[in-house]
Amino acid sequence: MPYIDLTMPINERTPVFPGDPPHKIVQLTTVKDEGWNKKGLTITSHFSTHIDAPSHRFAHGKTLSDFPLEKFIGDCVVLSLAKPDLSLIKKNDIVFFFSGVTEKLYRKDFFENNPVISEELAQKLVAKKVKIVGIDAPSPDTDPYPIHSILLPHDILIVENLMHLRKLVGKRFECFILPLNIENGDGAPCRVIAKI
C-alpha cells in the first residue's frame, strides 16, 4: 500500500480534549426527505488530528495563513518516543513520535498518564531545524505546556492525535499534512497522509 492515512477518524466517539466544548455531528438532510444527505459539524480548530500554529500559544504568533503550502509537505521520519534515534533526523524534516497513545482511542483513560516530549528533546529538535513535530497523542506536553512554548516560537508547527505510527518507526517517507483552510487559523483539523 503506497499511501497510509495517519488521521484520526471523526465520529460521535472522537475524544475531545478536556475543557473543550463537545463536538456535534447531526444529520441535517436525508436523501429520503430532501433528496440529498448533509451532515452538520460543530468542532473546534483543535479537534481530532490537527495542527497547532504559533498563534495557538502566543497572542502575536503566526497563523496557519502565514505559512506557504510547502511548510505542510515534505520528508518525514517517525521515531519512538521511548528511544528516539535523533541521528535519523535531517534539516527541515517533519518528525513524528510514536508513543502508542492513540492505540487506546475510545478508552476512558485516553487522556491519562500519557508520555510527553521532554524539554531537552524539544531543544534538540529546534537545534536540528525541523519544520513540524507530531505525536500520536492528544498533546506533546501537559500544563503549563512547555513543549509548545519551545517549538512554536521557532515556527515549528505541532501535529497532535496522529494514528498508525507503530509500523513506521525508523522509516522515512513523503508526508502531506493538509489543514482545513481556516483564514488566520490558530490551528486546524487536518488530513495527514504518508506516501511510502
- Domains, the chain: 3-195 (3.50.30.50)
C-alpha cell belonging to residue 78: 517517525
DSSP 131: S
- pLDDT value of residue 69: 98
Residue 121 has what pLDDT? 99
Percent of the chain residues topping a pLDDT of 90: 99
C-alpha–C-alpha distance, residues 122 and 130, integer Å: 10
pLDDT of residue 19 exceeding 70? yes
Question: For residue 23, is pLDDT > 70?
Answer: yes
Rounded to an integer, what distance in angstroms lies between the CA atom of residue 86 and that of residue 109? Answer: 30
Q: What is the pLDDT of residue 194?
A: 99
Residues 6 or more apart in contact with residue 146 via CB below 8 angstroms: 119, 122
pLDDT at 1: 67
